[in-house]
Every structure is written in C-alpha cells, then in structure tokens.
Amino acid sequence: MNDKIIAYQGVEGAYSHLACKKVFPRSITIACESFSDAMKLVESGKADFAMIPLENSTAGRVEEIYRLIPKLSLFIVNEHFEPVNHCLLGVKGATKESIKYISSHPQALAQCYKHIEDLNYKAIAKFDTAGSAKEISEKNDPQYGAIASELASKLYNLEILSENFGDLTNNVTRFIILSKEISIPLYEPKQEYIISIVFQVRDIPAALYKALGGFATNGVNLLKLESYVIPGTIQISQFHIDIEAHPEEKKLKLAMEELKFFAKEIKYLGVYVKDNYRKLRD
C-alpha cells in the first residue's frame, strides 16, 4: 500500500498524520479540514485511501464517524491501532504554571481530563490536536498551551512541558482505512479476519436478540456491537457489528442467513485482516 495518496483529517503532526506515515511510509498525505472532506477525496478518486479514527481506548468512539457511517459509500479495507502519547505543549518560555488555557481536539481533551482539572486549565475545543499546536505557536502567548504529539512540537517549534499527559497509559486509537473499491482478502485458514456490517432490525419483539442468535448458535464471535440513532430520526436505531470471520466460512454463511430473517437494510462495510495489535492484546 505504498506510493499511494492518503487523505486524513487535521494538519501536519496530527495523530491521523502519524498513522498515515506508519501504515503508508512512502505515500503522499493530504490534510483535510474534516472527516467528510477526507472521505470525499477518496470518493472522487483524488485520493486512494482515507485514514479515519473510529474509537479510542480512553475516550470511546468518535461520534462524528458514526453519524457518517449510514451515508458511507466507501469500504473498510484495513484497520490500524496507533498508540497515542499526548504531550502538553507551550511556546518557548512557557511553564505549566503560566498556562491558563489549553486547547486540543475534544477527544484529546477527554483523554487528559484529570490532568487538565488538576492544573485548573480552561479547556478549549478545537478541530484537531496539531492545529491547536500550530495556533498557539502563532499566538506566542505563554498563557496558552496545547495537547498534541511530539511531532507537532517539532513542526511548530514548541516546548514539551509534560510528556505522557494523558490520564491513562496504553492509550491507543483504532483507525479504519477506507477505499472506493471493496477488497476481500483471500481466505487462509490460519489467518484471522473481520467483517464489519450495519443493519436495522425488523419491528418484532426481541428482534435484536433473535438477529444475533445465529452468531451464537453457529459459534461466530462478535468483536463489537454499537447502536446509534440514524441522523434525521429519533426512533430508528442502526447497529454496527464487527464479526470475527471470513465470508467463505460456512459458519458465517449460516449465521448471516439467520440474521436476514430478523434484520433489514443490511450493509457490508468491509472485510479485512485482523490487525496484529489485537493478537498481542488477546
């Protein structure tokens, strides 16, 4: 997957930028103002992939992505887990005591909430972590700090006032890699795969219980179950599940046949190889 064009949300030095460089070290990266803009570049063919954060081990899911999922015309072709080391950054001469205002992406602020509270900083939500670093660099005021990566400190000539500023250790963000074209890896018995789908349940009693029952009876493991209200509605819920299986496995085919009896609007988001990070954590 090298020598490709990868779109991401944020500016240089953002964690999404780091993830792009980790997975696609020899590729061109394009910074976008929003997740939607990054996805549109892929839809239009101006980028090959989009690197999109889906959830974080400390702050949970990225809500905006789940609002975009029902309208998604792209496919998940891979996943990547990126360790997150938040740093407290300030301009030259700033100290922890001089800072009164701290800015970053809402997810990063949530992941550093306890430290922010202990230092009595006023949190200011911004579009991204590295953008906050860039902004305080331009402001050049020791009262303003930012939470961002070590790379951002180097890019924007800032001091690292505190490393490991996050509230929890082993903080990691799960990214999904989106493509315009669906790509189903060839089945190898010794390899582990994930299938991501979304669906709605039929208006019958215990529909969700029955819809998921086929996975249990056929020995198919579910790695994730998320529910969210479809934008523009208040009563219709959609469910996102990650299934540990490959489409060619008989047990998965049987489970999906049962799902179809109790679910509707089933949409495949992608089939991809399970990331090695999961295996290390098992």
At residue 58, what are phi and psi to the nearest 5 degrees?
A: -100, -50
User: Residue 233 — very low, low, confident or very high, per pLDDT cuts 50/70/90?
Assistant: low
- Catalytic: which of 81, 165, 175, 199? 175
Helix (H, G, I), strand (E, B) or coil at 234: coil
Non-local CB neighbours of 235 within 8 Å, separated by 6+ positions: 229
- Catalytic: which of 24, 165, 173, 215? 173
The answer to whether residue 262 is catalytic is no
pTM: 0.86
Residue 195, Ramachandran bin (φ over 0: left; ψ between -120 and 50: alpha; else beta): beta
* Segment 132-142, tens digit of pLDDT: 999 999 999 99
118, 114, 113: which is closest to 96 by C-alpha? 118
Measure the CA–CA gap between 46 and 1, rounded to whole angstroms.
16
Q: Is 46 within 8 Å of 167 (Cβ atoms)?
A: no
User: Residue 227 — very low, low, confident or very high, per pLDDT cuts 50/70/90?
Assistant: confident
Domains and CATH numbers, the chain: 5-83+172-179 (3.40.190.10), 87-162 (3.40.190.10), 193-281 (3.30.70.260)
3-state secondary structure 69-138: HHHCCCEEEEEEEEECCCEEEECCCCCCCCCCEEEECHHHHHHCHHHHHHCCCEEEECCCHHHHHHHHHH
Q: What is the pLDDT of residue 282?
A: 58
Q: Is 196 within 8 Å of 79 (Cβ atoms)?
A: no
The answer to whether residue 233 is catalytic is no
